[in-house]
Amino acid sequence: MNKTHQYRPAIFFALAFIITWINGFILAVQSHQGSDKNIINLLLAYMGPFIAALIMMYVFADKTFRADFRKRIYDLRLINKNYLPFVLFFLPLAMVISILISIALGQPVEQLRFAEEFKIFEGEVILSMIILVLVPVLEELGWRGYGVDSIASKFNLFKTSIIFAALWGIWHLPVFFIDGSYQSSLWMQHPLFAINFFVGFFPLVIIMNYLFYKNLRSISLIALFHVLANYSSELFEANQISKCIFTLVLTIVAVVIIIRNKSFFFGNKMSIDIIDPANNGSSTNDDKYPT
């Protein structure tokens, strides 16, 4: 049996922003005072979307919605195996291509070396590695557990992607004020690099949402893709010129995906069916979403 849930995107995103921004700006103050980052504030900042999703599920949703959420985390049968090569190899390959283009334009060939350390937080290698793996999973439990669907229930997929990309980018704002963070260093290098950070969300979200709805809203698949997105940016000694080119490569791929799937992106708003596992509900990509 399929059910339709009444989503409340305004409440969800307000909660996600409040939880993240309060803790994020506390971390920013701590960093400028020379204090160690409070692990509780750090976790709460990154868990904002997930905590917001849990609140929405237990206050405004029923057990069927929660069962559907759990199913989309652990049920690997939702994943169409034809998309796995793209999920696993596209982002690292796109980064290598971007570096090669930048080298052809005169940038250092040393960019092809594997990075000696991850640069999420300067001088904190273990913390950076944990963030690269843990944060994408925590984020996607919230964003794909509730947030993206909540927007898609109101708009078509293209508008959903643009709106969510803008919100996702703004959600990251506090980290720009944390001393020693990767994002804070972008402003010091050049404002255009900081702008590229935000612009990059738009093609990335289009690709992620395409994969999300083509794989029956599998949260685990998108969490994996998100992890690979983070590691692809940190795996090599790529400079910011290469990362700007990387955004361009993502944009080209996103445009190709949209052109080849116009009705999928520009049709009516998405039909988000909540499947009750207790009734052995099932669905396929073809009968849920237009191609």
Q: Give 220's contacts (C-beta < 8 A, 6+ positions apart).
A: 72, 73, 74, 76, 79
pLDDT over threshold 60, residue 120:
no
pLDDT tens-digit profile of 233-282? 888 889 999 999 999 999 999 999 999 999 999 998 777 877 666 665 44
How does pLDDT run across 22-58, given as a tens digit for each residue? 999 999 999 888 877 788 898 899 999 999 999 999 9
Q: Determine contact, residues 196/243, Cβ cutoff 8 Å.
A: yes
Query: Would you call 121 helix, strand, or coil by DSSP?
Result: strand
At 290 the pLDDT is 43
Q: Would the pLDDT of 283 be above 80?
A: no
The separation between CA 161 and the C-alpha centre of its own chain, rounded to angstroms, equals 11
Question: Which comes out higher in pLDDT, residue 92 or 123?
Answer: 92
Among 141, 175, 180, 185, residue whose Cα is nearest residue 53: 141
Q: Is 234 helix (H, G, I), strand (E, B) or coil?
A: helix
What pLDDT is recorded for position 284? Answer: 45
Of 4-18, 26-40, 108-122, least confident by mean pLDDT is 108-122
User: Per-residue pLDDT averaged across 49-74, rounded?
Assistant: 96
Q: How far apart are CA 240 and CA 228, in angstroms?
A: 18
Establish how many alpha carbons lie within 13 A of residue 49's alpha carbon, considering only the half-sphere containing its beta carbon: 22
Task: List the beta bridge partners of residue 181.
Answer: 121
Which range marks the domain in which residue 169 is found? 2-288
- CA dist 213 and 208 (Å) reads 9
pLDDT of amino acid 277 = 61
Q: Which residue has the tokens 């685990």?
A: 220
Give the pLDDT score at 285: 47
- Active-site residue flag, 117: no
Give the DSSP letter of residue 270: P
Over residues 181-209, mean pLDDT:
94
Alpha carbon distance 198, 170 (integer Å)? 8
Contacts 24+ apart (CB under 8 A), 166-173: 166/201, 166/202, 167/13, 168/143, 168/201, 168/205, 169/197, 169/198, 169/201, 170/17, 171/16, 171/17, 171/20, 171/48, 171/49, 172/197, 173/21, 173/24
Of 290, 236, 238, 235, give the one whose Cα is nearest residue 266.
Answer: 290
Backbone Cα Rg of the chain: 19
Residue with tokens 């949402």: 209
Determine the angle formed by the axes of helices 191-199 and 182-189, rounding to 10 degrees.
130
- Given a cut of 60, whether residue 288 has pLDDT beyond it is no
Q: What is the pLDDT of residue 278?
A: 62
Q: How many domains does the chain have?
A: 1
Coil vs helix vs strand at 47: coil
Active site residue 32: no
Choose the catalytic residue: 139, 140, 226, 234.
139
Beta partners for residue 274, in sequence order: 3
